[in-house]
Structure 1
Amino acid sequence: MDVVNLEAKLATFAEHFQPRTVGEFNGHDLMVAKLQGPFRWHAHDDTDDFFLVLKGRLTIELRDRTVSLGPGELFVVPRGVEHRPVAEEEVHLLLIERTGTPNTGDPATAAPRRVI
């Protein structure tokens, strides 16, 4: 694997809620994504959901509380916990998920895997 510049990778696309795989690690995708607005409520039954904010502010709504993250902060949503990311303004993220994990929790509605 070569050095990966996350800012350069993020500059290659503009779409929101369409993660891009920039590397792999022990069967997991290392992804960057841009978010703006609310995402759908969803859960991942078989895996945790890792969020690291690179730029902007992200709110992760859980059914029993809300988590607010700024640049350099991360949060792991435990497997099976329903959640909804919300970004009032554009947010840049690093995500780590098992390869093949649907971003919506449902393969039928998930964004396709894109490698950049």
Structure 2
Amino acid sequence: MMDKVNLAEKFAAFSDHWAPRRVAGYNGNDIRIVKVEGEFVWHTHDDTDDFFLVVDGELDIELRDRTVTLGPGELFVVPRGVEHRPVARRGEVRLINIEPGGTHNLGEGSPQRPVVEG
């Protein structure tokens, strides 16, 4: 049986950006935390939606036809196949992502980084 997860402790344990940490799982999905800052590349996920939940900071999700701005406690789901780019223009942002286990965290057209246990 798994213990509870303290998000503040998990976020405090690392400082690198755009490098998700798996903190839990359910029904074959990974719950990941990540710190981001600056711009990421435009990319798509062909096989899964992309779930963003902001814990701290303010994140822009740029889509080709609009920008969705998220603050703490707000979430947005980018449908599979939709090109997007997350951007943290106003400082570091702390996020929760939920994706199917084993999913490459960055989608097509983006640099691949391994997801580590956090």
Aligned residues: percent identity?
59
Q: List aligned pairs for 1:94-105, cutoff 5 A.
A: 94-105=96-107
**What is the CA–CA distance in structure 1 between the aligned matches of 2:63 and 2:18, rounded to whole Å?**
18
Q: Deviations over 1:3-56 (max 9, x none)?
A: 001111000000000000000111111000000000111110010000000000
Partner of 2:85: 84
**Which ranges of 4 or more aligned residues in structure 1 deviate by more than 2 Å?**
106-109
Letter in 2 for 1:12: A
Partner of 2:25: 24
Letter in 2 for 1:115: E
Q: Deviations over 1:54-73 (max 9, x none)?
A: 00000000011100000000
Moved more, 92-101 or 66-75: 92-101
Letter in 2 for 1:76: V
Q: For the aligned residues, what is the CA RMSD? A: 1.4
8 A contact 1:63–1:83 mirrored in 2: yes
Q: Point out where structure 2 has 5 or more consecutive residues left out of the alignment.
A: none
8 A contact 1:40–1:104 mirrored in 2: no
Q: Point out where structure 1 has 5 or more consecutive residues left out of the alignment.
A: none
> What TM-score results when the alignment is normalised by the length of structure 1?
0.95
8 A contact 1:18–1:111 mirrored in 2: yes
Q: Secondary structure at the match of 1:8?
A: helix
Structure 1 residue 108, shift from structure 2 partner: 8.3
8 A contact 1:41–1:84 mirrored in 2: yes
